[in-house]
Amino acid sequence: MVSYKELGLVNTRELFKKAFAGKYAIPAFNFNNMEQMQAIIQACVETKSPVILQVSSGARKYANQTLLRYMAQGACEYAKELGFNVPVVLHLDHGDSFELCQSCIEYGFSSVMIDGSALPYEKNVELAAKVVDYAHKYDVTVEGELGVLAGIEDEVSHETHSYTRPEEVEDFVKKTGVDSLAISIGTSHGAYKFKPEQCTRNAEGRLVPPPLRFDILKEVEKRIPGFPIVLHGSSSVPQHYVDIINANGGKLEAAVGIPEEQLRQAAESAVCKINIDSDGRLAMTAAVREVLNKKPAEFDPRKYLGPARDELKKLYIHKIVNVLGSANKA
Ligand code: G3H
Ligand code: 13P
Ligand code: ZN
């Protein structure tokens, strides 16, 4: 058992309190490799933003849990070396069992998500309460979820979504003791968040998705005042990355995300954590494809992963400054 406190990490409690009061959201960026980690820390140090480093169960299998833990510890040291000690949370994204949450806590995670959103309500409550009971003994914070997001990722896959039912949130929070709650208001995972037939087209012919359900968010806020809300599936799928990918041998058709103005609006409300993974994947892929396409003789991974890291850093700075509003809040 290693405590996250020994690793220099923090849980989400104080960060969410400040984010709520200051009307901004903490960035939750997924990572599974060194370049992503470097980009995240460089961006957060430069903007003086707190950060949540998220690890999915797929990422944990891919990168190895021991390596990830040392990377997170290294991230805290790296931030100091770069000149600013940003608060870093190491968070399990979409934990699907008590055992996985327990194992992550034992490995030094400071926050876990227990995602029982696809279970019947009572089972979701039971599972989340069990995780909270264990996690709080170690001062680890817990995120629960009500409502199902659509979309497909490695290990997070749902064909259809169901919006969060505001009438359930108060009971859920009371019975489980979770520290934050992920809700479903129309976001979804991955780069294909909406079917073209759900969208309209703008003057340039780009797909414009239906707006998020701010009415549900408002109703949730009314029922659990002051409680930190989390938005998953919050990538915006920047069309310039899609274009670069497609111009360099890729094939992403009808990829569409959540408009950034809507996320900005959400960040000013009770939403204290915004999850972004797919946009980072697009930024990296665009940079790698461009280098390899323009320089076919290149075979040093640093020559394409370096530019990918720099593009990622640019993206993260943009999100922090222009979307989440977490710059200078560390
Ligand atoms: O919400 C899911 C995250 O984007 C993680 O995706 O399971 O492919 O690592 P992953
Ligand atoms: P995106 O696929 O929209 O980046 O969402 C990521 C996420 O919710 C991670 O939990
Ligand atoms: Zn998610």
Per-residue pLDDT of the chain (330 residues), as tens digits, is 999 999 999 999 999 999 999 999 999 999 999 999 999 999 999 999 999 999 999 999 999 999 998 999 999 999 999 999 999 999 999 999 999 999 999 999 999 999 999 999 999 999 999 999 999 999 999 999 999 997 654 455 566 679 999 999 999 999 999 999 999 999 999 999 998 899 999 998 888 999 999 999 999 999 999 999 999 999 999 999 999 999 999 999 999 999 999 999 999 999 999 999 999 999 999 999 999 999 999 999 999 999 999 999 999 999 999 999 999 999
Looking only at the bridges linking them, the beta strands covering 151-152 and 157-158 are antiparallel
Q: How many helices (H) and strands (E) does the chain have?
A: 12, 12
Instruction: Please identify, by atom number, the ligand 1 atom nearest to the C-alpha of residue 233.
Output: 1
- What's the pLDDT at 206? 86
The closest ligand to the CA of 156 turns out to be 1
d(CA 250, CA 289): 8
- What's the pLDDT at 91? 98
The residue ranges of DSSP E strands in the chain, in sequence order, are 26-30, 51-56, 88-95, 111-114, 141-146, 151-152, 157-158, 180-183, 200-201, 207-208, 229-231, 271-276
d(CA 90, CA 79): 14
d(CA 119, CA 131): 15
Q: Spell out the domain ranges in the chain.
A: 4-324
Instruction: Please identify, by atom number, the ligand 2 atom nearest to the C-alpha of residue 279.
Output: 4
Length of the chain: 330
In angstroms and rounded to an integer, the radius of gyration of the C-alpha atoms of the chain is 19
Q: Would you please indicate which residues are annotated as catalytic (active-site) residues? A: 93
- What's the pLDDT at 159? 61
- From the list 84, 100, 80, 83, the residue with the least C-alpha distance to 92 is 100
Tokens found for residue 320: 């922090």
- What's the pLDDT at 41? 98
The closest ligand to the CA of 154 turns out to be 1
d(CA 56, CA 63): 10
Class of domain 4-324: alpha beta
Residue 321: DSSP 8-state: I
pTM, entire model? 0.96
Non-local CB neighbours of 96 within 8 Å, separated by 6+ positions = 57, 114, 115, 155
- What's the pLDDT at 116? 97
| CA-based end-to-end distance of the chain | 28
Q: Please tell me if the CB atom of residue 209 comes closer than 6 angstroms to any atom of ligand 2.
A: no
Best residue among 152, 235, 271 to mutate for probing ligand 2, ranked by most atoms within 8 Å of CB: 235
- What's the pLDDT at 100? 98
